[in-house]
Structure 1
Amino acid sequence: MLTAGVVAPAIADPDGAGGGSGSSTPSAADVRAAKERAADARTDVDGIQERLAAADDALDAASVRAAKAAEAWNGARWEAQQARVRERTATAASARADKALRAQKAAYRDVLITTNGAGTDLAAANAILAADDMQALLEETATKDRVDDLLDQQRAEYDAAAGAAAKAEESATAAADEAEQALAKARTARDAAQAEADAAAATARRVGRQKVRLVATLARLQGVSVAVAQRRQEALESETRRARAAATPDPEPRPDPQPQPADDGPAPDPAPADPEPADPAPADPPAPSGGAQAAIAFARAQLGEPYQWGAAGPGSWDCSGLTSKAWAAGGKSLPHYSVAQYDVSTPISAGQLRPGDLVFWGDNGSPSSIYHVALYVGGGRIIHAPRTGRPVTEESMYYWRTPDFYARP
């Protein structure tokens, strides 16, 4: 923890105690008071840093809620799209069944007209009466039987066509109802995502203002400039992220992070650098395939573009929108939904990662809880659209905490 570094000034004892009249030697009371002020300052620094950590936690929680809502919207929208596809398929099947039924109606009508309409029973009776011998009678009777068989077959085909048409119409109606319900769910999810995005943006603004005030107070207590205090705070937050990542078990073992020097109080100003921890990367992977290279190149071309929930370019992105379009450039179609992207990809371990693979974060051990996805680019780094207020960026895949799932498109 960074300390205040406060030095108590020497105060003359107006009563001359401990050093004679006019002596500059502090009394025991002065020393105690100075130590108390230093302790108070240290306590103040610790308290401010706790408040800064709490502010970051609040922002993190709001961002996660917004990410979950955004991916729930993507999921609901994707399901609505699938429901529409099923509706169109069912409607087309119903139309084909209706056409087949109309053809069977016409065929059955023609057979009835040709047989019953022409007086089949009367013709059969006349044939029996006019038969010259038994052989002729049998031939005439067989003809009638064949006609009756034809009628029975035609009736069976008509009944089958009518049943298929009814079933197809029922399926089409059910698919239409399902699509409407999916659309209603998507609209609800869209509204929830917008509300969470607005809440996260408001939290980000509030936390930003709060951190500016707290860092300024921290600088005053530590006796340094605001810029120095800000750099120290960023380094402390980076170390906190490292500790959180180290506390989360990896799906596959990875080397321990390089040890960091102990904090013995105020340190020289760190050189401006990437505040993200230099986490070790998985073993050097093979060179990416042409599709993976194209996906990475596309993602890199979007660096700096803003995050917008539900967006898949051009100019703004959410996490699954970016990975979807990146891999589209690489020749593979991925849904605009992180859970579905995992489902249609091949699960791998952290140790199998190679450039172009997908890295996922979820709530628990189930892939259905996934709510964030990034594109792995090698060297332990990812490109992703993080959240509202943070543009598309390339950074350590341990920037926040260890990912939960990995997959290869």
Structure 2
Amino acid sequence: MRSRTLALAVLLGLLPVGAARADENTPSAAQVQAAQQTAARRSGQAEAATRALAAAQASAQALDVRAEQAVERHNGAVLHQQQAEARAAQARRTAATAAATADAARTAAAALAAAQYRGDVRPGLAGLAGLLSVRDLHAASVRREAVRSVVEETRRVEDTASAASADAGAASAAATLAATAARAATVEVTQAQQQMQAQLTAQRTEVARLAAERTTLLAQLAAAQQTSVELAAVRQQALADAAAKTAAEAARKAALTASDTSPDGASPYRPGDASAAVAFARAQLGRPYVWGGAGPDTYDCSGLTMRSWQRAGVDLPHFAADQFARSTPLSYSRLHPGDLVFWSHDGTPQDIYHVAIYLGDDQMIEAPRTGDVVKVASLWIMGTPNFYARP
């Protein structure tokens, strides 16, 4: 700093006396030093604010992942509840049919007993009429044997029907309990979902506050450095973009490396399937993300992919993990437009929490998160996908 002051003094000494006196606005060495200290302090504050904002954004992104996990757990619980209730309804229908069969068997047995008492037979036993009308001892023995055989067969049918009715009743009760448990699970994950939404909303509020604080500090820094807020913001954005580009390239290389060693069992498309799915997804661009949304005006991630492939004639459940289970896995190098791309929290298919539709050229269409809309994004925006599959 002494050298700068000395240089300034030498420079002033070289100027004509009149010029030096005329330039009364020339800053003193102390003023220059103070300005430099102010700029340095503002720069440090801006950098600290940038770090705090980045940390808050990272926290929000982590909450986004947890929120999507909550959404998919909710979707899975709803799907399982629907399946359990369908099984319970079928079990009740089976129980009712079995009970009706048992009642019919008991009615048949009662009718046979009445026929024996009266000495005649029911229409269904008309084939035994000749035997039952014979008078001699041998015929009577045959008659008794025939009646006994019919009685035993009727009793067997009745017993079987009663057992089937009891089994069906037990199955119905078990299915009803399962459906009740599924409904309770749905309520539980819905509550967890709501709690996660509250946390995410609070975190987004904190991100907005830190972003505003950072903008103020950048403005102060720009003033201290005699530059513009726009220039400072552009520089910060350029640094962020460069980091994102580096991360995307690393993710792409990782995907290509995995493709070299991954088995590929991809099946060919039927004509028009993929294009119909992609066209439908494109038509939803700009529609808001809503948890559990499956169209026509709002979507979550698996709701969008479900409806897109439904338009292509393929039925998928509203549950990302099941969408992967019902599709053919493939590698990144074999991706075609329309294929599905999945992310998992722990790298297992069971913990898939996000799904999107591949467009080609490392682009995808996704319904990303609460507060956002269906949009086109980089395939690598969330890091390397865990799974790729073709419905």
TM-score, normalised by the number of residues in structure 1: 0.77
How far the C-alpha of 1:398 sits from its partner, in A, is 0.6
Q: 1:250 aligns with which of 244, 249, 254?
A: 254
SS across alignment from 2:376? strand
Contact map agreement 2:42 2:220 (CA 8 A) in 1: no
Contact map agreement 1:359 1:405 (CA 8 A) in 2: yes
Q: Deviations over 1:6-37 (max 9, x none)?
A: x99966899x89998x999998x999988766
What are the equivalent positions in structure 2 for 1:300-379 lying under 5 Å apart? 300-379=282-361
CA distance in structure 1 between the partners assigned to 2:2 and 2:228 by the alignment: 20
- 2:101 corresponds to: 100
- 2:181 corresponds to: 181
What are the equivalent positions in structure 2 for 1:5-404 lying under 5 Å apart? 40=41, 43-115=44-116, 118=119, 136-222=136-222, 223=225, 224-245=227-248, 250-253=254-257, 289-404=271-386
Residues 1:288 and 1:92: Cα distance change in structure 2 (over 3 Å): closer
CA distance in structure 2 between the partners assigned to 1:90 and 1:404 by the alignment: 39
Contact map agreement 2:39 2:221 (CA 8 A) in 1: no
CA distance in structure 1 between the partners assigned to 2:380 and 2:352 by the alignment: 17
How far the C-alpha of 1:38 sits from its partner, in A, is 6.4
Tell me which amino acid in the other structure corresponds to 1:97: A
Q: Deviations over 1:88-132 (max 9, x none)?
A: 111111121122112111111111222256499xxxxxx9xx97x
Tell me which amino acid in the other structure corresponds to 1:217: L
Residues 1:254 and 1:154: Cα distance change in structure 2 (over 3 Å): closer
Q: Deviations over 1:29-70 (max 9, x none)?
A: 999988766665554444233222112102101211211111
CA distance in structure 1 between the partners assigned to 2:209 and 2:33 by the alignment: 36
Tell me which amino acid in the other structure corresponds to 1:400: M
Q: Deviations over 1:245-295 (max 9, x none)?
A: 55557354289xxxxxxxxxxxxxxxxxxxxxxxxxxxxxx9994121111
Equivalenced residue count is 358
Contact map agreement 1:63 1:200 (CA 8 A) in 2: yes
More divergent stretch after superposition (222-231 vs 109-118): 222-231
Q: Percent identity?
A: 35
Q: Which runs of 5 or more structure 2 residues have no equivalent in the other structure?
A: 14-19, 122-130, 260-267
Tell me which amino acid in the other structure corresponds to 2:61: D
CA distance in structure 1 between the partners assigned to 2:87 and 2:201 by the alignment: 37
Q: Which runs of 5 or more structure 1 residues have no equivalent in the other structure?
A: 1-6, 121-126, 256-285
- 2:128 corresponds to: none
Residues 1:208 and 1:254: Cα distance change in structure 2 (over 3 Å): farther
SS across alignment from 2:377? strand
SS across alignment from 2:257? coil
Residues 1:138 and 1:204: Cα distance change in structure 2 (over 3 Å): same
More divergent stretch after superposition (174-183 vs 237-246): 237-246
Residues 1:324 and 1:287: Cα distance change in structure 2 (over 3 Å): closer
Residues 1:17 and 1:396: Cα distance change in structure 2 (over 3 Å): closer
More divergent stretch after superposition (192-201 vs 290-299): 192-201
- 2:124 corresponds to: none
CA distance in structure 1 between the partners assigned to 2:374 and 2:270 by the alignment: 21
Residues 1:146 and 1:338: Cα distance change in structure 2 (over 3 Å): same
